Amino acid sequence: MVVDASPVKETIEPGQFFNIKCGESYFPLLRRPFSIYKINDTTLEFMYLVKGAGTKYLTRLETGDKVNLFGPLGKPFSLEQSYQTILLVARGVGIATLAALAQKAAQDGIRAVAILSARTTNDLLAAQELQEFGAEVYKVTEEEGTSDVANVRKMVNQIMIEHPIDAVFTCGSKRLSILLQDMIKENHIPGQIALEEHMGCAMGVCYACVCDVKEEDAVHSVKVCKDGPVFPLEKVVLK
């Protein structure tokens, strides 16, 4: 979905999201959080998977229709100037937010290597867009028997041999995130994760979307909508 972003005065950054009203009636009632997929000069793009009543409503919108967006919300990814190569690991629609990051990385002259995971090759999203941003893209799927954690670990190791990776970014899979937590620890590199959670207010008041983070030895609860959705990968407690 491409929307005219000219009414948005705030700076919009990869990792942030908009809470979008997906209907005009009381069903669906709640807004749906969508991460930003592409940030263009005057437009914004969202990539969504048609899953329920909310996303079905969005498919029925036509060019010229108005959409009620609330945002930009949340904390963005941070890209350090010193990064030369970053690794993106996404599962399914989790690629949306990482595509925005790849776009920004390309603008900043940072090289991106991406591993995209999905059930089937048909479900692999945004591979071409990532390549257009100059990213080196690897695809893994259940269909081809390549998406298991052991294989992804092998791939990441191989990538790390070929290019020194300065930071890892991930979204969309708990399994892969746990793997990457291991790998960034082994390799002493930083990582960031964009979390997905059911939201109520998306403003930090209702405590619907919480997760645990580990700071030193204490575990405490943070709000995905306000304190995130991007968190340091090593700190998030993935149950």
According to the annotation, is 109 in a ligand binding site?
Answer: no
Q: Please identify, using beta-carbon distances, which residue of 28 and 134 lies nearer to other proteins.
A: 28
28 binding other proteins? (CB under 8 A): yes
In the list 1, 12, 30, 178, the residue contacting other proteins (rule: CB under 8 A) is 30
35 is in an annotated binding site: yes
Which of 8, 67, 106, 201 forms a contact with other proteins (CB under 8 A)? 201
Site track for other proteins across 37-76, x = CB under 8 A: ---------------------------------x------
Q: Is 26 in the site for other proteins (CB under 8 A)?
A: yes
What are the φ/ψ torsions at residue 191 (nearest 5 degrees)? -145, 155
The annotation places the binding site for FAD at: 32-35, 54-55
Footprint on this chain of other proteins (rule: CB under 8 A): 21, 26-31, 70, 197-211, 221, 226
